[in-house]
Amino acid sequence: MKLLTKEIKSKLPLLYLQEGENDPTVHAKFFLGPFTWYVLEGQEADGGFLFFGEVVSNMGSEFGYFTLEELEEVRSPIGTSVERDIHFSPKPLSEVAR
């Protein structure tokens, strides 16, 4: 499955464009096992693609940067890879289920 489609990429705000907003928009959701990545912003950087968003797991959540390349390389212990929630539509961060 392609994680970053042309449609998502074209609508994704560049890094820092939502900085300071009270309720930024989540544009994509990726998941693998207990981990979920909620993408707020992203852009080409250093020959790859850099995202900023919230990472949620059974150990808690935190905001930070992650790359498309890292997501494509991650595998679970049984070999499954990160997937994109194809049913997810952009929504305010406050509306994302935790």
> For residue range 7-42, what is the model confidence (pLDDT) as tens digits?
999 999 999 999 999 999 999 999 999 999 999 999
If DSSP states are collapsed to H, E and C, what string results for 58-82?
CCEEEEEEEEHHHHHHCECCCCCEC
Q: Let me know if residue 51 belongs to a domain.
A: yes
Cβ(28)–Cβ(49) below 8 Å: no
Give the pLDDT band (50/70/90) at residue 94. very high
When pLDDT is cut at 50, 70 and 90, the band that residue 1 belongs to is confident
- What confidence category does residue 97 fall into, taking pLDDT thresholds of 50, 70 and 90? low
CA torsion, points 40, 77, 1, 91, in degrees to nearest 10?
A: -30
- Residue 77 Cα distances to 24, 52, 57, 66, 73, angstroms: 33, 26, 16, 20, 13
Domain of 38 in residue numbering reads as: 6-88
Residue 97 within a domain? no
**Has residue 26 been placed in a domain?**
yes
CA-based end-to-end distance of the chain: 24
Task: Give residue-wise pLDDT tens across range 58-89.
Answer: 999 999 999 999 999 999 999 999 999 999 99
93 belongs to a structural domain: no
For residue 35, being part of any structural domain is answered with yes
Structure tokens at 21: 């907003």
